[in-house]
A and B are shown apart, each in its own frame.
Chain A
């Protein structure tokens, strides 16, 4: 089956598609989130070393993954918009940024509240934590730069360029615990396997899936508002608002 990409790249078509899909992604996020919280807070056993405080992992790690993944997807959309001059890709990049920033903030916040009882401090200028903070500033920079121009297409191009340059920070975040001697622990989950107990791992994976579905739902909802703003002088948008 051939997918009609150009048909769905039209803002008017995508507006309707996003409106139909977003509620399903939010519903999936709620279901997976409920299952993840049940696994993480009820089923998963107490950690032998950290006690109950380790349960912050069920939101800290998924939020950290999403903060990096959303940035990667945002930069890809930026690259597509720069290369092919597609309006929808630029709008998607803009729609993803606030959700990415929110997850980066949640990752830093939860990390801070996990660090206090385990490391004895809320904050340390550790390579992993500092590079994650740089990611938050990259999101803020992208949002500010994209909105700094009167002509939104110029804002799209400037934002896309910044997003692509900022990609260099992602491997720094990911490999910081390998490249430098950091206070932050190394990865418990790798593509090759995990050292975690099964219920703990499932709780974390379900929460990651929930955040992923939420991110898709939120960005689809936001891109609809961006499309309305950009296309407000077209007949189809005028007809919608009646």
Chain B
């Protein structure tokens, strides 16, 4: 990869980071949606 390994790994590294970040965001989004549904249901049950 020399002498340009910095540019190559910065490209591949950022791509991997972006993919991992999106997968984590997707999991968090789903968890957030489910929590919101549970909270609303609990509030309605209290009323």
Q: Give the B-binding residues of A (Cβ under 8 A).
A: 51-53, 55-56, 59-60, 63, 98-99, 102, 105-106, 109-110, 113-114, 116-117, 214, 218, 221-222, 224-225, 228-229, 232-233, 237-238, 240-241
Contact = CB atoms under 8 A, between A and B. Distances in A.
15 contacts: A51-B4, A52-B8, A55-B8, A59-B15, A98-B25, A106-B14, A106-B18, A109-B11, A109-B15, A110-B11, A229-B33, A229-B36, A232-B36, A238-B37, A238-B41
B37 to A, nearest CB: 4
Contact of A224 (B7, B30, B38): B30
Contacts of A222: 26, 29
A232 B18 contact: no
Interface string B23-43: 101100110111011101100
Contacts of A117: 4, 7
Interface of A is mostly: helix
CB-CB nearest 6 A-B residue pairs = A53-B4, A228-B33, A110-B11, A241-B37, A225-B29, A113-B7
A238 B26 CA distance: 21
Contacts of B12: 56, 59
A116 B7 CA distance: 8
The B interface is mostly helix, strand or loop, or mixed, namely helix
A56 B32 CA distance: 36
A221 B30 contact: yes
Interface of B: 1-5, 7-8, 10-12, 14-15, 18-19, 22-23, 25-26, 29-30, 32-34, 36-38, 40-41
A55 B10 CA distance: 12
A225 B30 contact: yes
Contacts of B26: 218, 221-222, 225
A75 B30 CA distance: 24
Given A59-B12, A59-B15, A113-B10, A232 B33 contact: yes
Contact of B2 (A52, A63, A229): A52
A105 B22 CA distance: 12
A241 B11 contact: no
Given A52-B2, A52-B8, A222-B29, A237 B37 contact: yes
Contacts of A109: 11, 14-15
A109 B17 CA distance: 12
Contacts of B10: 113
B4 A52 contact: yes
